[in-house]
Amino acid sequence: LAGLWEMTESAERAIRNWDLTLAQSAELIAKEKLLALPGERFSYGGLSYNVAGRITEVVSGMPFEQFMLERLLKPLGMKDTTFKPDADQGERVVNISKPAGQSHHTTLFSFDPEKDSLRKKLILVGGGLYASAKDLAIFLQMHLNGGIYAGNRILSETTVAEMQKDQIGNANVSYHPVPESQDYGLGWVRDRFGRNGETRSVSHPGMFGTIQWIDSDRNLVGILFTPMPLQYTHPIHRLVRAQVLALFPIED
């Protein structure tokens, strides 16, 4: 399926028309022509995530939003995480801006719960969650613990390990969320490896400035919320993550 920067107009509508249901979104995506046969090409983007979300609905028999709430968010106690913030939650959603000269910024997005949340039907599976830093830290800690948080198993150890394995193989990489990388698991960019090729650190950037990472060697998780488009925050993220590595040196 097409990645973020190669979608047709009809594909764009499938994940940007907020009046659609997730089922209708998947139906539109199913009509799109494949850009390559499975396994030949890797292209990161929102179409594939919406299809995966719809499959979850069919298998579970419940809306994706409800599935996430009952199987992930409630068991983890992630009370600030939702696809559709209400008015009270919306007051804490930060503006997205970009630099506009020295010490100035231009606002690109300011959250309006009536327009941006409550009226939307469509769930954007690949980038639609709003969360707090605390909630995201809980989610990452669960992954660091091999699928367990506060004594409760949320994901199987096998699932967590599979998400961190190479899923690209010999496929040609046409679009990757981190341009300098050629490694990708399931939802994770694979950053660092051990002597036997095992994954030791994973991360994932967000289009509007979030970076999250898990470092198994140092037994830590990291989060940065930098509310600007990724092209402006990527250098900041690299610098901060390098400083964190330097603060917690490990023996090779």
Report d(CA 230, CA 189) in Å as an integer. 15
Question: Rounded CA gap, 185 and 202, in Å?
Answer: 9
State the pLDDT at residue 252: 61
Residues of the chain where predicted confidence (pLDDT) is lower than 50: none
pTM for the whole structure: 0.92
| Residue with token string 């390098």 | 242
Q: What six digits make up the tokens of 216? A: 């198994």
Q: Select from 130, 78, 126, 125 the least CA-distant residue to 109.
A: 130
- The pLDDT, as a whole number, for residue 20 is 95
